[in-house]
Chain A
Amino acid sequence: MKRQYRISAAAVAAALLLLALPGIGQKHPRELAQAPGLVFKPDKPISFTLSNGIQGLYFEDKELPLVWMAGRFKGGSLWEPAEKAGLAGLTGTVLRTGGSKTRTGDRINEELEFIAASIEAAGGSEYLTVSANGLKKDFGKLVEIYADLVMNPAFPQDKLDLARNQSLEGMRRRWDQPFQVANMLAQERIFGADTPWGRRTTPATLKTVTREDLAAFHARFFAPNNMTIGVVGDVPLAEVKAALEKAFKGWPKKTVTLPALPPLAEKADGTIYYAYKDTPQANMFLGHLGVRRNGPDQYKLDVMNNIFGGGGFTARLMKEVRSNRGLTYGIYGQVSAGLDRGGFMVGSQLKAAQFVEALDLIKGIIADLQTNLVGDEEIETAKNSIINSFVFNFEQKNSLLNQLMILKLQGFPDNYYETYIDNIRKITKEDVREAAKKHIDPAKMIIIIVGDEKKFDKPLSSVGKVKTIDLAALQAADQGGQK
């Protein structure tokens, strides 16, 4: 690299000219001719079923010599016993690190890392996922190890201890960042600390988990008839199917039941929760329960969320609280959907000296959305943004396939993607207002604040009924005697 040290007089003159003549020869984008239409027929994935019942989805992708796959099993932390919260997560981690009955985890690490491949497993709330990627030349080996881990995990004690110790350290550290703390407190209070959605995994619950628990949790959900697998890459379908058939040969079907979960009940009652922490900003979440997935208002909410707090700088929260007032670096809000209920949540790290002012702004934005119709241009922008950016769902075949797998598992109709744009197009300003009225209740929403009230512009008592949370005590109880 060569640096140039010469500054020419002509260049300086050019710079001055540039300053003197703003906007020379330029025009506004609206003066451009209409862009040509986008012609695009997205590929559809190929579905297949293996002889033992595994459901498959496949995309061929010959661009690069790579292969990607992900298997999902229904089941997860929502179905773990409360006193063993964290079991699903540990099952995922140790399924991978612990190796199989014939291959140790350490040996698998060596084999995979030498060929720059990876297999990872994770226990989420609704699904247990095992994903893999590697070079196409190693596909056979990858599938072999993958299937062995999925069918025959060993769950050895030492790798359970390792995973648990790592999680325990994470729990010590989860109190270090105030926004993270505010989020944790909000999840518990909105979804309920005694529900599978809101309860917190603690050192105490983690410590009760044994390797027998992991094996039983695995046995409960891992079955071919409860597995959906997606494969994308430069490997022909026939080869994929043959490799999977061979690797999963002899894996017996069994009955997998997912017991119904107790329905969530709204607990939010307008309380303000304040937790003192010596930190420069006011870390805030507010909200209450949201909606059930795949419900009648989903498209209305997609548009409303975009206008309210999900659409970047065109969203009202960002525009008003950040861009017009400079009170935060970021603010997001939306009504989300869940298996039972999602959440309505707004989160932001706000300028402490104007916190109450910011909170009033946010409440004002909600009230306006519920009272007045949004502007014509505003709803057009929101709908255009959703419709015209839809093509980005098809950019990466593996993320597309992953998304399609999730939609299928969550019971969305097969034509969800094909009809999505038309469904968004139908949404009106009245729909947006109706959705905001129906799904947001300012009287019920709770507000969580982690920060230092002495730095705020007004006392919190001027905002409403305040309950104090003692973070130090909470942290000590969480750590259960660990120092």
Chain B
Amino acid sequence: MPKTAKTLSAIFGFFLLLAASPMAAQNLEEKVTVHVLKNGLTVILAERHGAPVFSTMYGFKVGSADEYPGITGTAHLFEHMAFKGTPKIGTKDYEKELVLMEKIAKVGREWSLETAKGDKADKDKVAALRAELTKLEEEQAQHIVKDEIDLIYSNVGGVGLNAGTGTDQTSYIISLPANQLELFCLVESERIRNAVLREFYIERSVIQEERKQTTDAVPTRLLSEMFMGAAFLAHPYKNPVVGWASDINSVTLEEASAFKEKYYTPNNCVLAIAGDVTPAKAIPLIEKYFGDIPRGPDPPPFRTVEPKQLGERRVRFEFDAEPLLMMGFHKPNFPAKEDAAATVLSYILTSGRTSRMYKDLVQDKQIAVSVSAGSGPGVRFPNLFTFYATPRFPHTVEELEKAVLEHVEKVKTEPVSERELQKVKNNLEASYIRAMSSNMGLAGTLMRYQLLFGDWRLFLKYKDLVGSITAADVMDFAKTHLTAENRTVAVLVKKAKTS
């Protein structure tokens, strides 16, 4: 049972699936208990008494959207650091570590600042600082119990210890046998209260490699980065979750620590547990361990509003890979009615083999091998209705773009059919039931709605909104938002062979 490497990064929160049905809604209401601690931590328990296991996801309302130039990637970087332990966990001698970490912070900062000068950096100085840093790190390593959080959970049979950072939130997950609830409460309350940023500069190096592995070498991710950068002029949704390479290379331990203090407060956190737990046993334990974490200041206000787009934006770049297309249009976010209309439209256009674009572009004309639509990159702020399409050789991205736009235009002039609307509703209803079929899936869904929108029941209520969407609403949405001046198109084309 290999665990995946830490952080799911940008994948998190891109598409939010929403659905509900009255019967199942009642079913879920009965299983869910919400409890708010005095310090503001919101706890959601969902009882599923099958196998004696539970899954947890807790999240903080902070993601790459809360970053600014110079510290992009810090939400994600801190997420990695949260696995390095606490004053009690991960150490043989915390006092000795503290002395060394103070030196590491100082040398690391100097090294980072000098390195950030790029070509103008003093190479000897960089080398000397790097050597000094390595020496300090090796010294600290003598006092560290490696990855002890992992070790603790592995010993009791924990699986899937991981975390993810998105544009909107940062979340932490683990599944455990049912008899380990107290251990979970102890470890995680310690982590939230007092994460120690040991091994900071080594982990920063891991993230440099993560960026190369998951973005720089991956055509789809690279295109997405270019696309978001063009679609957003002002709003931080333009920045990649993993951060820009220069920022990852220069962010300091102090900056990561300050970022954490601002956002990692109980009042900015929702903890969801789904599985073989009962409120009678779980809530006292959670109170005992999490209850005395001090409430923090409210996170700083968010100010930047993306200005109205005044004209089409286009990105085209060459890469050593087959061509790809992305296209997006600005739109309101959840829980706006337009967002529900966009959800309905994405189903009708690209979900399944009977969707319009699959039937026409993939199956009949065979211009594309895949087309998908959805809302992203986040949901906390106004976002984009996005198409992502893969052309089939010898068809070009230009040809595919034209074909996608023909479908968009058709939605503006012909109402979608009642059968199409009904099919969407049937599928949303079923996806709602399926969302309850795994502990982690359920914990994640409840946590996200509570954290981002203040009430997990919106997961149920969204059904009324989607159910109320008419053919006219879909047409209105298309006419208002899917316009040329509100459009961004990004294409990757294959680099011409030079040799």
Contact = CB atoms under 8 A, between A and B. Distances in A.
A109 B177 CA distance: 40
Interface in B264-309: 265, 292, 294-298, 300-302
Contacts of A280: 212, 216-217
Interface stretch (B121-129, B228-236, B408-416, B423-431): B423-431
B294 A5 contact: no
Interface in B420-455: 422-423, 426-427, 429-431, 433-434, 436-439, 452-454
Contact of B156 (A115, A326, A388): A388
A397 B187 CA distance: 30
A264 interface: no
A118 to B, nearest CB: 9
Contacts of A310: 1-2
B330 interface: no
B353 A97 contact: yes
Nearest to B257: A19
Contacts of B179: 35-38
Interface in B175-216: 175, 177-180, 182-183, 186-187, 189-190, 193-194, 196, 199, 201-210, 212-214, 216
A66 B21 CA distance: 14
B353 A314 contact: no
A482 B393 contact: yes
Contacts of B497: 472
Q: Which of A11, A28, A312 has the most CB of B within 10 A?
A: A312
B437 A64 contact: yes
Nearest to A399: B438
Contact of A26 (B193, B214, B362): B193
Contacts of A219: none
A305 to B, nearest CB: 9
A282 to B, nearest CB: 10
Nearest to A96: B353
Nearest to A109: B353
B352 interface: yes
B363 A396 contact: no
A38 B178 contact: yes
Contacts of B422: 114
Contacts of A23: 86-88, 94, 190, 193-194
B322 A389 contact: no
A6 B175 CA distance: 36
Contact of B297 (A11, A349, A385, A391): A11
B247 to A, nearest CB: 17
B161 A32 contact: no
B202 A324 contact: yes
B271 to A, nearest CB: 17
A396 B442 CA distance: 13
Interface in B234-251: none
B141 interface: yes
Interface in A3-35: 3-8, 11-12, 14-15, 17-19, 22-29, 32, 35
Contacts of B430: 116, 134-135
B294 A14 contact: yes
Given A314-B150, A329-B210, A482-B393, A116 B431 contact: yes
Interface residues of A, number: 98
B33 interface: no
Q: Which of B161, B363, B454 has the most CB of A within 10 A?
A: B363
Contacts of A39: 52
Given A4-B298, A280-B212, A323-B146, A27 B431 contact: no
Contact of B212 (A37, A349, A381): A349
B22 interface: no
Q: Bin chain B's interface residue count.
A: 35 or more
A347 to B, nearest CB: 11
B396 interface: no
A323 B53 contact: no
B438 A64 contact: no
B354 interface: yes
B217 A349 contact: yes
Contacts of A472: 497, 499
Nearest to A389: B157
A389 B146 contact: no
A311 B186 CA distance: 23
A114 B157 contact: no
Contact of A38 (B52, B88, B300): B52
B427 A1 contact: no
Interface stretch (A72-80, A170-178, A235-243, A253-261): A170-178
Nearest to A385: B154
Contact of A391 (B51, B208, B212, B213): B51
A387 B157 contact: yes
B431 to A, nearest CB: 7
Nearest to A8: B297
B356 interface: no
Interface string B378-406: 00100000000010110000000000000
A395 interface: yes
A391 B433 contact: no
B117 interface: no
B433 A66 contact: yes
Interface stretch (A161-169, A190-198, A209-217, A460-468): A161-169
7 contacts: A26-B190, A29-B186, A36-B179, A114-B423, A165-B369, A323-B199, A329-B210
Closest 9 CB pairs of A and B: A388-B157, A326-B205, A312-B3, A116-B430, A330-B5, A23-B87, A176-B321, A389-B157, A11-B297
Given A6-B298, A15-B265, A325-B205, 11 more contacts: A3-B302, A23-B190, A35-B156, A64-B434, A66-B433, A97-B353, A113-B354, A116-B426, A381-B154, A387-B157, A482-B393
